[in-house]
Structure formats: C-alpha cells, structure tokens
Amino acid sequence: MRVAPRVVFVLAAGFAASAAVAQVPTPPKITDKVPDNLTAPTPTPAPRGPTEYVPRGSREAPPGRPTPGPTRTQTPTPVPPLVRHLDVRSGEVVTKKQSSPSACTTRVDSSSPGQTFVQIRCPLLPPSGLKADFEFWKGVRLKNGWKVDSLKADWSGSSNPQPPDNNHTGFRVSTAPVVGSDNPETTLHLFATAGLTIDVEVVLRVKGPPGTSPR
C-alpha cells in the first residue's frame, strides 16, 4: 500500500516536535528563601565629629540641708602682754655728786613698788648748790622675754619752785632705755641752787609674757 507523501511529512514533523519538547529542562521553582551562605553587608560607621565639652554644673545640696561652708582652721586669740612697773632693789640706784664741798643732801626713796623718787635739797646758807647723777639698774637685764615699754620722769610736789625753772633747779634724762630692749639702764641728772629743792619721780614700765617675771 502506498502512503501519500504529505502524510509522511506531517508525521515526521510531529515526531520532531515531540522530541524537542522532551529535551527542554523544567525551570526551577521560584521561592522567597534567601540562601544560607549570603550575609548582609556591614554598614560603614560615619566619621565622628568634634565633641563639645560641656562643664558640669555645681551640685546642689538636697532640700533642707544648708550648703556647708569652707573649712577654716581656728586661729588662737593672741594673749596680750603683761605690763608692769619695774621695781628698784637695794643697790640698783647709784648717786654720783659732781659738786663739792656742798651742804646739799641727796635722797632716794623707793618705798613704793615700781615708783622711785630722787631728790636734791640745798640749804639757804653756803656752801650750797649741787649737781648729781642718779644711775638706775646699772648692769641689770630683763629676762623671760620682757622688754622696756616706756619711761616716765617728772618733777613731784616736793620740788621748790614748782615747776622747776631750769636755771636754779631742774633735771634731764641723760641716759634713756631703748623701747623694746632688755636693758633698763637709766640715768637722771639733777641740779639745785641754794635754798631750793628738786624732786623727780621715776617710773619704768616693762612688758612681757603673762605668768612670767622680768627678773
């Protein structure tokens, strides 16, 4: 039996199409799953700019508590020095007369503590008139931190005339102690003429630590 050429051609084309369809691979199934070996990229940090310094504010004390003040070391109150009159002991006044012969007399009265009187008294009849030096505390030194504070020398009520006229009667301090030193040496020069009297009060003030003595 003879087959028509057209039929054979159609069958060959059909077989060829079937073979082509059998050779095309099946496309993979699309899913949303991310493969395990993939890692998200690490973001690169942005560069830091300069940091502005902000000073810390003062801390406030809790309510109800006063702010403590600064701690101070208490300074002890200084004790003021003790001031007293320096007494005159036996032999601590030496009288040196400069006029001779003379009927005038000299006297030293230190019966009151810290107060001494020196005197020249001249009679009216000659020989009269006298000059004399009275030396106090010769060779004496103050101890225990005591120092000279002040010297007072002035005529007293026993003088005649009052006040001394510095021509017929008078006095002067020949040697005065230095304030702040430990040397109390003092010299007074007195003079009087016939029938007149010069009488001088001498007071030396010294100062030093309380509870101690200048001697």
Give the pLDDT confidence of 131-140 residue by residue, as tens digits.
Answer: 999 999 999 9
The model's confidence at residue 130, banded by pLDDT at 50, 70 and 90, is very high
Tell me: pLDDT of 206 over 80: yes
Sign of CA dihedral 158, 160, 161, 163: negative
Tell me, what's the pLDDT at 8?
41
Percent of the chain's residues with pLDDT above 70 = 68
Residue 20, pLDDT score: 46
pLDDT of residue 11: 42
**What is the structure's pLDDT at 9?**
44
At position 165, the amino acid (one-letter code) is: D
Tell me the whole-structure pTM to 2 decimals.
0.64
Buried b (16+ CB within 10 A) or exposed e, 187-213: bbbbbbbbebbbbbbbebebbbeeeee
CB-count exposure of residue 86 (10 Å: 0-12, 13-18, 19+) = buried
Residue 10 has pLDDT above 80, yes or no: no
- 79 falls in which pLDDT band (50, 70, 90)? confident
pLDDT of residue 107: 97
Q: Of 7-21, 72-86, 185-199, where does the model show the most confidence?
A: 185-199
Name the E strands within the chain.
82-85, 93-97, 105-112, 115-121, 130-136, 147-155, 169-175, 186-192, 197-208
Of 190 and 111, the one with more pLDDT? 190
